[in-house]
Structure 1
Amino acid sequence: MTPSTNLYGFPKPQKVPKEISSSNTLAFTSTLTPLISTAQKSSSGRHRPSKKRPNIFKTQKRTYEERNSQNIQNGSRYFSNKNKDVKRQKLEGVDEAILHRSKQKLEAKAKIYAQMKRGEIPENNDILVDFDQKWAEHQDAGSDSDLDAMSDDGQESLIEYEDEFGRARQGTRTEIEKMERQKKVALLSTEELGRMSARPAAPSKINYGDTVQSKAFSLDEPIAAKMEELAAKRDRSLTPPEMRHYEADKEVRSKGVGFYQFSKDEAVREEEMKALEKERLETQKRRKEREDKKKQRLIEIEERRKAIQEKRAIKQADTFLSSLDNELNASESSK
């Protein structure tokens, strides 16, 4: 099959260009023109207003106060959030044991502060808060109100009152108020001390005075037996502990040259120790004698050396004098 034939061997029909008549062209143009005009007028969706972007050159300048207030507001918000985050991160990063110790230290400081306010701590120069001075300043501030309560002659009127012991007394209004304040402070300090103190509270059921206690010294059988046992332990004689010594055969290790194995029998052990002590004393005696002889020998050598030096000096002097005499004689003979 050649390219010019088809599947069945027949020749392919040749493609002849078709000629388009002018009437067909005009009909196509007249049909297409109204379609294009109607397509431009029709819209496929709803109308959406266009968004105009603001012109950067036409923006109104803000005043200095507006910018400053905005910056302060943004800065405060930033730093507040930052401080919160920092505190949260710090607390999350700290160990629970450290937080517990810090809490205990703060509670101890609170107790000390309460004791300082009550005056239970002695005077100390290291204390930074002077509560007496604070109380004096508070009294000076309230002195103006106290002056109004005075009478016309410059003295406060006396008022009769009952003290804590039930006695009738007379005093000024200031003294009465001061005493009431002292009572309240003492009561509050006592309550706070009992609440914050680490010591246990005193028991409420305590017998004071001449109270008969019938069962305080009852010698029952178990109590009597315990007392007898304690008395026996107290009165018995002290027994010395058992003698225990080092046993070299129970250790697997090499001993030194000077190691000596004592006997396990106490009597033989005592004799061996006495013999060793005697040998030690004899050795020390001989060593001292030898050292004394050595010192004596050194002294003799030093004396002999001094004698030799003296003889040598005398000989050198004689030689010098003889040589000098010869020189003098030679000089006289030459003259």
Structure 2
Amino acid sequence: MSSHLSKTDTHLYRPSAPPTKRSKTTPSTTPTPSSLSFTSTLSNLLSRPPSPPGPRASRARAGKKDDIFTAHRRRRKDKDTRGREGGEQDIGGVDEETLERSRRKMEEKAKRYRAMKRGDMDVAEGGEGAGGLVEWDRKWTESGEKPEGSEDDSELEEGAGTFADLEKVEFEDEYGRLREGTKAEKDRMQRRLRNQLRGAEELDRMSARPSMPSHLIHGATVQSAAFNPDFEIEVKMDELARKRDRSLTPPEAVHYDSKKEVRSRGVGFYQFSREEGGRRGEMEGLEGLRRETVGMRGEDTKGEEEEEGEGGGGGLVARMRARREAEVFLEGLE
């Protein structure tokens, strides 16, 4: 059978190779429009300088309410920014004549201030009486001496003390001279002396050097106390003896005062006088009334006894009847 086959038909009986398929992964050498756009975009990204990392995207936070300080800082920042953008503001210039005139006025005012501070200016020139300089140091010192709550009192009594401070008085200054001035000047000088004394005491207390003793002996002196060391003890003993021998003063008579007590008083209550003389007279009067009452009661008792003696047993019956009536009355009350 094989002999009958021709060489031309051999391809019909041989296994043929599978047809070659085009691989999908093989890149195409022909550029496409999409690849060209990607290449251009990538080259642009590579040539761009790196940018700082931006804030990470997160959930939107609730806005914080601005306070007065934040608003003030924001306005100031905006003002500075506008000033830098627009340049310095031109406020104009001042000529030399105006500057020289202002300088002369300032020098004149400084000279007047120094004169007012020294107290060389008179009232007519603008001294203390015509609205001169206020001594703030002295005013602060004087206000420091006032106790708490004195400001309100001074405000209440400001109108009342104005004319009293202008009263003319005579006083002695720190140098022993007799001067005449207002009461306010006298008080001011006394306060200044007290402040000076207090300041000197504070300096002595805070100083590291010990103060000089006040009682010093200069020259030849006989110290009699050295020969009699018990002199002070004798003086104290004499004072005690005088107090012991002194006659005792009787205490003042103190009597009961019903007005100082709040309580119910009976019908027969009687308040004696707190004065010794009036009290004695009232007690004598009451004693006389008592004697009269006792005398009259004795006479009545004597008359009843005589009547009982005359009537025989009538008095006993009357007493028994009265007692019985009293018992019946009490039983009725129960």
Asked whether the two chains share a fold, i.e. TM above 0.5, the reply is no
In which range does the TM-score fall when normalised by the shorter chain? under 0.3
Task: Using CA pairs under 8 Å that are at least 6 residues apart, name the structure with larger relative contact order, 1 or 2.
Answer: 1
TM-score of the superposition, structure 1-length normalised?
A: 0.25
